[in-house]
Structure 1
Amino acid sequence: MLRQDSTKTGSVLVWTVLVITMLSLIAVETLRLVTVKYQNALQTSTWQEALLAAESGIDLAIVELRKSLYPRPNHAWDGWNNPPGNEVTGYELTTVPNAGLNGTPMTIETNVDAPTQLIDPTNSWQYYRIRTVGTIPITGPARTSDNPQDTKLRRLSLRWERFTNGILTPHLLTAPQVSRRVEAVVRPVSAFDQAIMSVGVVDLTNQNIVVDSYDSTDPTKSTNGLYDPAKRQENGDIATDGQLIEAGNAQIYGDVATNAGTVSGAANITGVERTDFYQEPIPVGAPSWSTWNSSPSLVTGTTTINADATKGSAASRYTLSSISLSGNKTLTVAGNPNGSQTYIEIYVTGDISVSGTGQIVVQPGVTATIYFAGNVDISGNGVLNSNNQPSDLMLYGIQPPTDTSEHVSIGGNSQITASVYAPGHDVTVNGGGTNGHVYGSVVGKTVTMTGVSNLHYDERLGATGMVNNYKIVSWFEDNR
């Protein structure tokens, strides 16, 4: 009996050991599989986060580029090495603690340059190249996940980094990491990128209002460079950083966009309605010229001032305290008798008022830029742009002090060929009779069009005037 009991006991022990061994093997294999899957998930997440880091570097560079557009002091490129200029590199290394998975640091390396081959020959605008590297450490051991090809495809740097100081030369790492490299090219965006743009409300209060477009550089979209209703285009876009566009059933040949807002009276809009628009207008600062023409100091009667063949020269710059013309009084901006290209910049520190038969005349060949710090009131045919090109007459409103209300008013049967950029002014186009037309573009704090008034946007303006923003035009990832 004792021998039989011992045999049974021994069998139980053997089976117990076998079961424990099998369970242990299953547990070990399960742990191995779970660890591999966890490592795979960890590497995948880190790989994705490294791309977010690289793209954040592009955002950082665009923020600095936008800062550089503001009046000085704008603190653009503070802390960067060699701010970008032609063939000059701007460089920044940013480390964001606890931004990665498991609290690992995120390193963003951003390099901005402005190669001469990225200058637009049509308007001399500089495009910028942004190169970024986003790097995040991989927590855990330096080993591949369950698929070694996956590691190669994602360029996970477990022991070796492929680049050294931006050159494709590998170097040994002390810890595994993921680095992703992105290159983007950004282009300038004109302040006159829309037919109408407003910081606040856009109000079109008459169904007889027409907003459309033409292209003075394209004979299929204009006639002799002038607006032709038979060649009307549908890029008369309207946008607001605010939340309301009162379309008033106006005839809008283009898109309308708000900042998460609404469009009312939209029955006659040919384009699309969007709610994802946001573009903060750059304020205009007062010119900081070192020299200029000191005479005349103001204009109240018939006056002639002369443009100059050299853009930006002292001879082409005037500072006036105000312009006030009525009756038959005229301010003539004179160019060369043969109509060759000349330039003029006028800074009006006060108001501009043109009424009755008073007039500002820009002669042929003159490209005029007028900065104004006060109010602007123009009625009748108060401004004559002899070139008939809105890019040859640009009016910029100096940003008024906070809580100060200033305006731009274009009224009556006025026909004006010009571009108005005044994001600190309330802009009103008040058409009277049957013949109120603006050929150009309007940017204001608010924009109101009433009566029989029409705005014909010249698409050429999208590549002229003041730069107001930067937009990505190309993007690719360096997978070497």
Structure 2
Amino acid sequence: MHTSHGSRDRGSALISAMIFCFVVMTLMGSYLYMATTEFRVSAGSYLLGASFNLAEGGVDRALHALGKNDHTGWTTGTDAQGRSYWAQSFGSYDLGGNLEGVIKVVILNPTGSSPEIFSEGEASGRVSGAISKQVHASLSSGFYPFINGFNSKQGIVLKGNNVTFDSYDSGEGAYSWRNRNSEITVATISVESDAIDIGNADIYGYVATGGALPNVGPNGAITSYSNPGVVDAGRVTTDFYAQFPDISAPSLNAPSTSIPSSGTIAGGDYQLNSWSMSGKKILRITDDARIVVDGDISFSGKSGVEIASGATVKIYAKGNVSISGNGILNESQVPGQLLVFGIHTTEGGQSIAISGNGYLAAAVYAPNAVVTLTGGGNSGRVYGAVAAYSAALTGNSHFSYDEALENYNIGGAGFEVDEWTELSGVGLTSMRLNMTDYNL
């Protein structure tokens, strides 16, 4: 039987065309599969990012409600664990591309000092279902004025033959070579080139400014006790920022309007126009006291105040403070038991000068005061912390920051986020809050 060449050619062309079509269809299928996969991954990533952003927005809404102490629109109650809560859903929000988002927020212990926020963002609209992210934020309220040790708004000057800064922890006992550390931070938010003038002082700790390097004399040091006599660049930063909110005197409970110039008092509340002591008069305070002084405070001669161990004295001064002579003897030597607050509201409008040959164990928060600490002889010692408008330490002075003051909270100033955690991944998903338990 005879087959023509034309028929064989047409058959070969048809087979080639079919093979070509099969290859093209396979390539198109692979491309469509890759494109679909890429779209799913891209959409998933977009929804993941969107859900996280929604969760962050929920934390902001919770902070706003806590800051205003306003739970209007929130569901309130007590959960199965006995915790008080506020709960609310927000949305839906148009995320574009037929996608939408909702926010679910639960605040636990909302009226306490350490609330917790659980915020969940959910983005939906995909065929495969919604994607959610949940974050947890633990908060603290108040303001911690002594978190660094020696702070100022305007600047710091250290002058003298033997000026030393370091730190210790009064919770571990009195200052000693066994209880001394290099954890003080001498800091100012000022950006001026001469904001911190160290001179020949030895700072066993850190220095922080708002923008310029500190001035260090030829014998000055910024270092640790393990490496004395050097300027360690790793212990200097120039991006420091802090807030120095004004503080007001507290409301006193039926205060006395005068205070003895000598003898013994058992604490209590005092509201004074001014407070002065001179000569050899000594006043002893044996229990907790709050003393608000609208005018000036002046101790001179060999006069002074003794604070019995176990008593805490808080002094709120609006005028100038000048303490010399025997000054204030804090028998416990725990700085947190003698607190001096400057309540003047004009920057630089108040002066606080404390001097003497002995030691002072106190914490001073005076955001608008020019604070000067002067030591003398070989025993000019100051233990505690200072926060001021501007500050100077002169003479033969040794300043030791009490690290125990780091956690001292004067209240106010709203809430701050202490810890932020995205509740995803191994070991964290179990921490997620079930929003349905709060009807969300």
- Shorter chain as denominator, the TM-score bin is 0.7 to 0.9
Name the structure 1 match of 2:120: 133
Equivalent residues in 2 for 1:216-255, closer than 5 Å: 216-218=170-172, 225-229=173-177, 231-243=179-191, 244-255=195-206
Equivalent residues in 2 for 1:249-288, closer than 5 Å: 249-259=200-210, 261-265=212-216, 267-270=221-224, 272-288=235-251
Equivalent residues in 2 for 1:315-464, closer than 5 Å: 316-330=268-282, 332-335=283-286, 342-398=287-343, 400-401=345-346, 405-413=349-357, 415-464=359-408
**Inter-partner Cα distance in structure 2 for 1:249 and 1:76:** 50
**Inter-partner Cα distance in structure 2 for 1:87 and 1:200:** 45
Higher mean C-alpha displacement, 436-445 vs 80-89? 80-89
1:230 and 1:479, CA in 2 relative to 1: closer, same or farther beyond 3 A? closer
Residue identity opposite 2:205 in structure 1: G
Cα deviation code 1:95-148 (max 9, x no counterpart):
6967x68796665444333399xx9xxxxxx5433322233x245x313xxxxx
The percent of aligned pairs where both chains have the same amino acid is 28
Aligned-pair CA distance for 1:370? 1.5
Q: Provide structure 2 residue ranges, at least 5 long, that are not aligned to the other structure.
A: 225-233, 431-440
Higher mean C-alpha displacement, 19-28 vs 9-18? 9-18
Name the structure 1 match of 2:106: 111
Q: Which residue of 85, 88, 91 maps to 1:89?
A: 85
**Inter-partner Cα distance in structure 2 for 1:278 and 1:83:** 37
Aligned-pair CA distance for 1:461? 1.9
SS of residue paired to 1:394: strand
Name the structure 2 match of 1:47: 48
Question: Conserved in 1, the CA contact under 8 Å of 2:327 and 2:356?
Answer: no
TM-score normalised by length of structure 1: 0.69
Name the structure 2 match of 1:313: none
Residue identity opposite 2:85 in structure 1: T
Name the structure 1 match of 2:127: 142
Aligned-pair CA distance for 1:195? 1.6
Higher mean C-alpha displacement, 226-235 vs 420-429? 226-235
SS of residue paired to 1:253: strand
Question: Conserved in 1, the CA contact under 8 Å of 2:205 and 2:222?
Answer: no
User: Is structure 2 residue 179 aligned with structure 1 residue 197?
Assistant: no
Question: Conserved in 1, the CA contact under 8 Å of 2:348 and 2:389?
Answer: no
Aligned-pair CA distance for 1:362? 2.1
Aligned residues: 402
Question: Conserved in 2, the CA contact under 8 Å of 1:292 and 1:319?
Answer: no
Question: Conserved in 2, the CA contact under 8 Å of 1:42 and 1:138?
Answer: no
1:91 and 1:404, CA in 2 relative to 1: closer, same or farther beyond 3 A? farther
Aligned-pair CA distance for 1:333? 4.8
SS of residue paired to 2:47: helix
**Inter-partner Cα distance in structure 1 for 2:114 and 2:299:** 39
Q: Provide structure 1 residue ranges, at least 5 long, that are not aligned to the other structure.
A: 68-74, 120-125, 144-157, 159-175, 219-224, 309-315, 336-341
Question: Conserved in 2, the CA contact under 8 Å of 1:82 and 1:88?
Answer: no
1:231 and 1:476, CA in 2 relative to 1: closer, same or farther beyond 3 A? same
TM-score normalised by length of structure 2: 0.75
Question: Conserved in 2, the CA contact under 8 Å of 1:80 and 1:90?
Answer: no
1:88 and 1:411, CA in 2 relative to 1: closer, same or farther beyond 3 A? same
SS of residue paired to 2:306: strand
**Inter-partner Cα distance in structure 2 for 1:418 and 1:82:** 46
Equivalent residues in 2 for 1:72-83, closer than 5 Å: 75-77=68-70, 81=74
Residue identity opposite 1:472 in structure 2: D
Name the structure 1 match of 2:418: 472
